[in-house]
Amino acid sequence: MKDWNFSSLARQIWGEEEDYLEMKQGRERISYVFSLFPDLIKKKGCFEDLRSEIKRLLSPCAECVIDLIPEETAYHSFSMGRDIREGELITLDCTLKMETCWVDMAKTWAVGSVSCERENLLKDAERVFYGALGLSRPGSPFSKVCREIERILEESPCRLVPDCGGHGIGRAIHQGQDYIYSTKDSGLFHPTEGAYTVEPVIALDTEEKTLYAYFEETLVCGF
């Protein structure tokens, strides 16, 4: 997956306020952990050990919330004691606060070689994320993002997970409006100030279980 061009997006739509700069620092720290994650997966035998190592890397921050999510879990509830398995997908969702503002990012990785089903799910999750990110601009209709996700998944066996989506973020992890991508006729517009996340969650139903994958980024429109 290519790196998100944070600096380019900042020049287009974001201000240079203190809160933006703090969020930028938080994003850079999470991106550093993301760059190490493929090697960390190889070294740590269980989810709890891996989570502890990530927390150590982020410990200079005032606060952090680390979710390590296996492929069979849509969101954050499972046994952290189980081992990481070759051939599965893992999502790392990091939320951290440098001083006063939170930033929230996530990415799904493959552990070693994965099945064609998992590979296709990962590709569709990335396509959906970039489709949503490309249309997430201050003041733009949220319905455009919903229709683009629908178009991307039109011929795919993958589906959008209902009731999951982005959210406002800043001095609290969840503040302001939630943005649910399955609600096409909500009448919502992307905010013209503050910050929010882009976070569509994708699922694939297989014979054995349902698999999940997603990517997340925080966008800032000025304060």
Predicted local distance difference test score (pLDDT) of residue 78: 62
Helices and strands counted in the chain (H then E): 5, 10
The mean pLDDT values, 10 residues at a time, for the chain of 223 residues are 42 53 87 93 85 87 85 69 90 91 94 95 96 88 90 94 87 87 76 87 92 92 57
Asked if residue 212 lies in contact with residue 72, where contact means CB atoms within 8 angstroms, the answer is: yes
Predicted local distance difference test score (pLDDT) of residue 80: 73
Q: Domain segments of the chain: what residues?
A: 14-220
- d(C-alpha 109, C-alpha 114), whole Å: 10
**Can you name the CATH fold of 14-220?**
Creatine Amidinohydrolase (3.90.230)
Predicted local distance difference test score (pLDDT) of residue 203: 95
Tokens 């982020």 belong to 58
Predicted local distance difference test score (pLDDT) of residue 193: 80
Predicted local distance difference test score (pLDDT) of residue 213: 96
Predicted local distance difference test score (pLDDT) of residue 149: 93
Predicted local distance difference test score (pLDDT) of residue 77: 55
Predicted local distance difference test score (pLDDT) of residue 148: 92
Predicted local distance difference test score (pLDDT) of residue 1: 40
Predicted local distance difference test score (pLDDT) of residue 177: 85
Per-residue CA distances from 45 to 49, 86, 111, 193 (Å): 7, 11, 12, 43
